[in-house]
Amino acid sequence: MYEFKYHRPATVRQAANLLLKNEDAKVIAGGHTLLPVMKQRLASPPHLVDLSHIEGLDGIEMKGRSLVIGATATHNTVATSAIVGEAIPALAELAGLIGDPAVRHKGTIGGSLANNDPTADYPAACLALGATIVTNKRRLKPEEFFQGLFTTSLESDEIITRVMFPVPKKAAYIKFRNQASRYALVGVFVAKRPSDVRVAVTGAGSEGVFRVTSFEEALKKRFSHKALDGMTVPADGLNGDLHGSAEYRAHLIAVLARRAVEAATAKA
Amino acid sequence: MAKISLIVNGNPVNANIDPRTLLVQFLRENLRLTGTHVGCDTSQCGACVVHVDGKAVKACTMLAVMADGHEVRTIEGLAADGAPLHPMQEAFREHHGLQCGFCTPGMIMTAVDLVHRKGNDLSDHTIREELEGNLCRCTGYQNIVLSIAAGARAMAKSDLA
Ligand SMILES: Cc1cc2nc3c(=O)[nH]c(=O)nc-3n(C[C@H](O)[C@H](O)[C@H](O)COP(=O)(O)OP(=O)(O)OC[C@H]3O[C@@H](n4cnc5c(N)ncnc54)[C@H](O)[C@@H]3O)c2cc1C
Ligand code: FES
Ligand code: FES
């Protein structure tokens, strides 16, 4: 790890000012992505701005029909929150599937979204549920926020403060884990929303998380796993690597989407 | 340099450190608490697990400056020197839950955290799921699972948390 100066702001405004004043400064939340890449010297921010002392940034609450999760809420907090379990149980389950217990005690939702790892879990939930990502500057829809592998539309002095999830009628997330890393080899989040159905896939797309509109249309007509019988997705544009070929991932998407619909209908 | 003050195994500690110092480095090299191990240094193996404010974390993936103002407990903090072992340590001894012992401090700290979160009656399935972040190269896990189930039960009858 290269040397850096450590800052501990008490407010989001102070944190944003530190980012603005110090070129190439980065925020650190749970550090469970940033520290490993700093150790490998793939990142060498000269300034680290620690978000963990900003009060109120990790809250979880209902606001009208939306579940609002603060950026520094850990995966464990989301997984065990009664509010999340009540409003969107699929989201609590997703958080409980991330990494291992120690990772879940440190990793945060804001860090996960800002990192936009193509195999991370939260991006699929955001896209399927139609979440709003709120920063110190603006509100972003997932389509505007996620910009491809490890890329988001966040500006260098922009900080995610919270994520707003409209409560769906039904939802489920099914993850097929990479046996070694525990990240998603493929993960499918299905959400039946008041106006439509969304199917979002992580782990498979060469450009990161994406929606399967053909599945969505079939499920909008009939929200049953049977509506997907015989339906497939093309392997073009999917990742193929030592963990699985693009064809294998395409197959998994269809299988997991069916299971997710089954799980979502079983829950209600 | 950065000034930090924290509680380690119940004792106040003050230090002036390079902000790059990892918590595990600080514990091992500054405080000489070498029970906490570094197996991988890439957040995978769990040999470095300690408790921060009562929660299991991988000390190789946390900066010591981020522990400032917090409470850290390591394997050395489970039972006093010379006193009887903590029930989870005793269960690992009794049930042969270790061979080389390298992974053991992390296994035990993870197990104690698991009992705090999920109680004293743990199924094999739960234990195996919860050991996701802890690797052992020797045992094949069978006796680790046995030890944790027994240690969890024993903790219900012990004064040591
Ligand atoms: C062993 C292991 C297993 C894992 N398994 C999984 C898994 O199965 N699924 C999964 O999804 N993830 C997994 N992860 C990743 C984990 O969820 C990370 O915690 C998460 O991706 C990053 O969150 P963080 O809070 O640790 O962010 P950090 O590491 O602190 O930061 C990551 C990046 O986000 C930026 N950032 C952080 N917070 C904000 C914010 N509020 N606003 C703007 N930018 C911000 C940082 O500057 C940095 O660039 C795993 C990690 C490990 C170490
Ligand atoms: S040394 Fe920390 S997880 Fe392996
Ligand atoms: S006992 Fe040797 S690594 Fe676990």
Average of per-residue pLDDT across B103-119 = 98
Average of per-residue pLDDT across A175-203 = 95
Ligand 2 within 6 A of B106 CB?
no
Rounded to the nearest 10 degrees, the angle between the axes of helix A122-129 and helix A89-96 is 160
The bound ligand whose nearest atom lies closest to the alpha carbon of B97 is 3
Q: What is the pLDDT of residue A268?
A: 54
Report yes or no: B57 at the A interface, CB cutoff 8 Å: yes
Answer for the pair A224, A201: CB distance below 8 angstroms, yes or no: no
Instruction: Read off the amino acid at residue A184.
Output: A
Q: Which of A8, A27, A149, A175 to mutate for ligand 1's pocket (most ligand atoms within 8 Å of CB)?
A: A27
Q: Does position A161 have pLDDT exceeding 80, yes or no?
A: yes
B127-156 exposure pattern, b = at least 16 Cβ within 10 A, e = fewer: beebbbbbbbeebebebbbbbbbbbbebbe
Output DSSP code: residue B29.
Answer: I
pLDDT digits (tens, 9 = 90+) for A10-67: 999 999 999 999 999 999 999 999 999 999 999 999 999 999 999 999 999 999 999 9
Answer for the pair B73, B66: CB distance below 8 angstroms, yes or no: no
Return the closest-CA partner of residue A165 out of A135, A144, A200, A134: A134
Q: What is the pLDDT of residue B11?
A: 97
Q: What is the pLDDT of residue B106?
A: 98
Average of per-residue pLDDT across A117-123 = 96
- CATH number for the domain running over A170-267: 3.30.390.50
Measured between CA atoms, the residue of chain B closest to residue A104 is: B57
**Which CATH number applies to A1-52: 3.30.43.10, 3.40.30.10, 3.50.50.60, 3.40.630.10?**
3.30.43.10
* % of chain A residues with pLDDT over 70: 99
Q: Does position A260 have pLDDT exceeding 60, yes or no?
A: yes
pLDDT digits (tens, 9 = 90+) for A80-89: 999 999 999 9
pTM of full prediction above 0.95: yes
Q: What is the pLDDT of residue B161?
A: 82
Return the closest-CA partner of residue B4 out of B103, B80, B70, B75: B70
Q: Does position A267 have pLDDT exceeding 70, yes or no?
A: no
- The segment(s) of chain A belonging to CATH 3.30.43.10 are 1-52
Average of per-residue pLDDT across B126-140 = 96
**Cα gap A83→A86, rounded to integer Å:** 5
Name the residue with tokens 């918590």: B23
Average of per-residue pLDDT across A199-206 = 96
Ligand 3 within 6 A of B56 CB?
no
- The segment(s) of chain A belonging to CATH 3.30.390.50 are 170-267
Domain ranges of chain B: 2-77, 87-156
Report yes or no: A137 at the B interface, CB cutoff 8 Å: no
Cα-Cα end-to-end distance for chain A: 49
pLDDT-derived band of residue B150, with 50, 70 and 90 as boundaries? very high
pLDDT-derived band of residue B160, with 50, 70 and 90 as boundaries? confident
- CATH number for the domain running over B87-156: 1.10.150.120
Cα-atom radius of gyration of chain A, to the nearest Å?
18
**Cα gap A164→A180, rounded to integer Å:** 32
The shortest C-alpha distance from B28 to chain A (Å) reads 18
Average of per-residue pLDDT across B39-58 = 97
Answer for the pair A165, A197: CB distance below 8 angstroms, yes or no: no
The shortest C-alpha distance from B20 to chain A (Å) reads 6
**Is domain B2-77 classified as CATH 3.10.20.30?**
yes
pLDDT digits (tens, 9 = 90+) for B68-108: 999 999 999 999 989 999 999 999 999 999 999 999 999 99
**Residue of A1, A2, A4, A6 for testing the chain B interface, max B β-carbons within 10 Å:** A6
